Amino acid sequence: MIAPSLTPGGLIGLCSPSHVARRGVYAPILDALRSRGYRVLEADNLYSDTDGYLATPQERAADFNQLIRHPGVELVFFGGGEGSCELLPYLDFDAIRAHPKRICSYSDGTTILDAVYARTGLEVYYGLAPRLMKDAGPYEWESFERFLTRDSDEHIASGPWQTLTPGRAEGVLFGGYARNLALLLGDPCRFPLDPDAPFVLFLEDHEQFGDVAYVSAMLSNIEQRPFIRQVTGLLFGHYSEPTSPELLARLRRFGREHGIPVAYCDDFGHGARHTLLRVGHRVQLDAGEGTLRYL
């Protein structure tokens, strides 16, 4: 299921499942979106900090549900942080099915994006967040508009990829921030993926949040789930500058042990470049050629 596209001058709804939004921080974000001609709706509890470190889970979920149910909102847009998993019991998946919207986030937003796809079949978008739009360059805005205002079938690389294990893979594009995905895969009741579908996996992490041993532990958690038997290929996003040889070696081992193609790129993640990825769309990954094609 693909939601209607964001129209020129369309309404973007902002909520904050994973961090406390501060008005001074969000003011230039709103300006950036409005400067491109979009209208912006701030959810009712966007600036709440009821629990100190965050708004309550009920307040944050109410904001997300408000934007899903709002008849004029075309894009639900939110960023990362910590705590999105707390919202899962309160999200209105029936409303998402009945009123599909484009939903876009990254980082800790992985939990909500992947749960929405798994529970509803709605295609969602990984790789951009409101805070990134304040200083977004041409690469980011081009990606925003190609994937959110249109249905682009072209992934534009920010630079050459590194082939770690060559080969081609096809399947449904799925993934996100490594820790969030590793945790989600342990709960098939809340996270019911099709057990027969092939998946092209994309993952990202960053050295500021965990060293290579930490990333390896997240990969091991994913490898030890039944889900790994459905993974046909892996694309890993930006981790460090310069690129970590230890991480590349771990990813090569991942590819060899599971007999799948693996590539590393700087196109998405917590680095300087941020494209969007269409979670839930069938793709072909060519790790040798360094291409991702939407089918």
Q: What is the pLDDT of residues 120-149, one digit of tens each?
A: 999 999 999 999 999 999 999 999 999 999
- Model pLDDT, residue 52: 85
- Does some domain include residue 3? no
Residue percentage of the chain with pLDDT more than 70:
99
Q: What is the pLDDT of residues 195-234, one digit of tens each?
A: 889 999 999 999 999 999 999 999 999 999 999 999 999 9
Is there a single domain that holds both residue 22 and residue 138? yes
Q: Which of 81, 114, 148 is the last residue of a domain?
A: 148
Please identify which residue in the block is written with the tokens 């342990």.
186
- Model pLDDT, residue 188: 66
- Model pLDDT, residue 43: 97
For the domain that residue 194 is a member of, what is the CATH number?
3.50.30.60
- Identity of the residue numbered 141: W
SS3 of 180, please?
helix
- Model pLDDT, residue 189: 63
Is there a single domain that holds both residue 168 and residue 285? yes
Number of domains in the chain: 2
- Model pLDDT, residue 193: 86
- Model pLDDT, residue 219: 97
Query: Is residue 36 exposed (0-12), middle (13-18) or buried (19+ Cβ within 10 Å)?
Result: middle
- Model pLDDT, residue 191: 78
Residues of the chain with pLDDT under 50: none
Structural contact between residues 82 and 18, judged by C-beta atoms closer than 8 angstroms: yes
* Domain hosting residue 187, numbered range: 162-294
* Terminal-residue alpha carbon distance, the chain: 14
Contacts of 176 (CB under 8 A, 6+ apart): 106, 109, 110, 113, 114, 126, 202, 203, 204, 279
CA 240 and chain centroid, separation: 19
Distances (CA, A) of 77 to 40, 74, 128, 130, 183: 10, 10, 9, 7, 23
Is there a single domain that holds both residue 140 and residue 171? no
